[in-house]
Chains A and B, each alone.
Chain A
Amino acid sequence: MTMLKELAAELIGMFVVERRLTISVLAIVAMVASLVDFIGVAPLLGGAALLLGSLTLLVESVLRGARPPG
């Protein structure tokens, strides 16, 4: 049982390295999906938003990691 828990924790940990980064990435994907599927924004524009959003989130997350806590 402990091993199964460790397995689950390890697998979840692969994707949730930092909670805020994970939530932000999921939010960007949801936003792009909504823009393309429901609002009718050009798919390529949605793609650009996905790419630039991911790049921005990466830099922001690294900088946040470099600041001392508190």
Chain B
Amino acid sequence: MAWSTALTAVSAAFLASLVEVVEAFTIVLAVATLRGWRPAAIGTTVGLTALAGVVLLLGPLLARVPITSLQLTIGVLLLLFGLGWLRKASLRAAGVIPLHDEEAIFAETAQLGSQQQRVHRSLQWVAGITALKAVLLEGLEVVFIVIAVGAGRGLLLPASLGALAACALVLAAGAAVHRPLSRVPENTLKFGVGVMLSAFGVFWTGEGLGIPWPGQDLALLLFASLFLAAGLLGSSLARKLSLGFA
């Protein structure tokens, strides 16, 4: 395995997972602030256990699927996922849709809690379930990202390392600041992730269809540059368009 290929997988999985882990961590933090660390920790633990079960179940199945079918399926899913993120990030950068704000998620979760203050036991349960759902949902997205980035060419290990590094970074940052991680420039991050996922999506889809990309893995750099340029162009045109309608 070339180090450049492994590094691309690590960074793609790291950046994509970072966004998801920040979202999950913000919700867990909101639950812990409202109802204490016990329901948050229990919900998180159960969520992580369920997630481990999914990974153990999916892992052996992946080895039985033909590599081109896997590349095509994952490539198309990755392309849909990446273009979706890039579209939203471009529209946010253009000011057409509001920025996704982690403080807003925190406040929303907090408000949800205050409305149900009278039923203490139920709330503990609801708080635990809220943390569980956040960890499970965002965790599944991280698992998908790792599989998508790594399964096509035996890069599961570097992709997993990238995702683990993202978890470690968010946990360390969270422990240091004890606040929702609103300082992370989320839209910039999402823009970059969308660019990388879209580039991987085109690459894997092409490989699955038997297209011999010139330069092999180096083609990813060209694809990423083109998606970055297209996203920036779309964002700039969208800003002008929305100002014209205003």
Contact = CB atoms under 8 A, between A and B. Distances in A.
A25 B209 contact: no
A43 B87 contact: no
A26 B141 CA distance: 21
Interface residues of B, number: 48
Contacts of B223: 51
A31 B8 CA distance: 29
B230 A29 contact: no
Given A15-B77, A43-B209, A3 B133 contact: yes
A43 B206 CA distance: 9
Contacts of B238: 62-63, 65-66
A44 B83 contact: no
A62 B235 contact: yes
A27 B137 CA distance: 29
Contacts of A47: 206, 209, 211, 213
Contact of B206 (A10, A22, A25, A50): A50
Contact of A62 (B129, B133, B212, B237): B237
Given A16-B80, A29-B76, A29-B205, A55 B214 contact: no
A21 B96 contact: no
Given A61-B87, A65-B87, A25 B202 contact: no
B90 A62 contact: yes
B28 interface: no
Contacts of A21: 80, 83-84, 87
Contact of A25 (B80, B230, B231): B80
Given A17-B87, A18-B87, A62-B235, A43 B202 contact: no
A25 B79 contact: yes
Interface string A36-49: 11000001101100
B80 A22 contact: yes
A67 B242 CA distance: 6
B84 A17 contact: yes
A59 B237 contact: yes
Interface of B: 76-77, 79-81, 83-88, 90-91, 94, 96-97, 129, 133, 136-137, 140-141, 144, 198, 201-202, 205-206, 209-214, 223, 226-227, 230-231, 233-235, 237-239, 241-242, 245
